[in-house]
Homo-oligomer: A and B are copies of this chain.
């Protein structure tokens, strides 16, 4: 998706440990017009799939998920990554590892907000090893809902998440795929 790829190439910063920083336009400061263009692009890909809900995960999936939900004209649900006094005790709960943060956390989705009538599109900012996506897939399966597909803004093509999800037969659409980092620069596929 050309607008996103251009922003990665011009504004993305490569940090040690295969981290790509896109905090001027995607996951700290957020360019809403870019998200709108991404949602338009994704809608072309998934528009026949009768999606009833967008499922994302806090925190950096929420802004993207919000604009996608607007475009698809459905509610957004974002999984919680921290238990607090207002976490629904009657929730689906799955353990997820984070590649960037080197942590293991449980994620939560209330049983009230997805059910077996839903057709769900997962939306997130990054795909590396796929741990967050597999956690969300697990929750959708527990709810008996239908998994329509997965829309990722930026796939790290040199890690295993995308390969595994495609091998498992999921409809995965990545709007930019990084082939590798070379001398501190991004090489897109």
Contacts and interface: CB of A to CB of B under 8 A. Distances in A.
Nearest to A36: B70
B66 A29 contact: no
Interface string A69-102: 1100001111011101110100000000000111
A69 B32 contact: yes
Given A85-B19, A113-B23, A76 B63 contact: yes
A181 to B, nearest CB: 14
B101 A85 contact: yes
A20 to B, nearest CB: 8
A86 B30 contact: no
A110 to B, nearest CB: 6
A110 B67 CA distance: 23
A125 B163 CA distance: 38
Closest 6 CB pairs of A and B: A58-B59, A29-B113, A62-B62, A59-B59, A66-B66, A30-B76
